[in-house]
Structure 1
């Protein structure tokens, strides 16, 4: 017990290292938060805080890290980019009208290097050849489009 009293900060450091190594195998971001708490306990020991204060500070730091930091870090690490497959990846892209698009008769647009049938989102619009449009929806094999405003010069 005397050795422990003389080497408290080394004990906290050893605990932090063991928890960090264990985290490398689990990858749950829980043990690393506990290791962070052990690091706070080590700093408290180096500053001469009593053992009870060290333990309380280590526990508080661990809990704070688990509740405040871990959720956002885990979301960022485990949530990769959304993979868009099929027709869904065309929504939001722009195309060019190659055959007049009107509500009463579907026209054609060039979209992503392919020719698609298209109808206007607003049934009162008629889109002329050469107009730039944005795809708002894909219904079957038909793109529902809306004109893109021309940039001001």
Structure 2
């Protein structure tokens, strides 16, 4: 099999990997790329190119793929921005009650509601953000 066919197969497998994201086809693509390389360098029979493809693909699948998958899955990721606001102090700008209210939190104005529905906070009160519910800060009075 001519080397350029192995090269086309390697590119096709790498392109298909972009659709799956499983790293399986990428390892086969590496095997096909190795077979293309040996096809360009040596005038081996087709079975030898196939053997190179098989050996390199299996080695990549057994040795490289598990390490890559562990590395991809171990990422901690970025913290959610709203999680960073929980526990922060805020200043009440407009009366905070069950259905209305505004607080100043990290220099921004947020709609707010009290943690306990019966609580009412007046402008100037200092509160703590308990959690963020959508675009609303759920707050509790700071002692």
**1:70 corresponding residue in structure 2:** 65
| Structure 1 residues without counterparts, runs of 5 or longer | 85-153
How many residue pairs get matched? 78
**1:51 corresponding residue in structure 2:** 46
Whole-angstrom distance in 2 between the partners of 1:49 and 1:40: 13
Distance 1:79-1:9 versus aligned 2 partners, 3 A rule: same
**2:19 corresponding residue in structure 1:** 25
TM-score by length of 1: 0.48
Whole-angstrom distance in 2 between the partners of 1:63 and 1:55: 12
Whole-angstrom distance in 2 between the partners of 1:28 and 1:49: 32
What's the offset of the Cα at 1:23? 0.2
**CA deviation vs aligned residue, 1:103-150 (integer Å, no higher than 9, x gap):** xxxxxxxxxxxxxxxxxxxxxxxxxxxxxxxxxxxxxxxxxxxxxxxx
Displacement over 6 Å in runs of 4+: none
Whole-angstrom distance in 2 between the partners of 1:58 and 1:24: 21
| Structure 2 residues without counterparts, runs of 5 or longer | 80-143
Alignment partner for residue 12 of structure 1, among 6, 10, 30? 6
Whole-angstrom distance in 2 between the partners of 1:24 and 1:39: 17
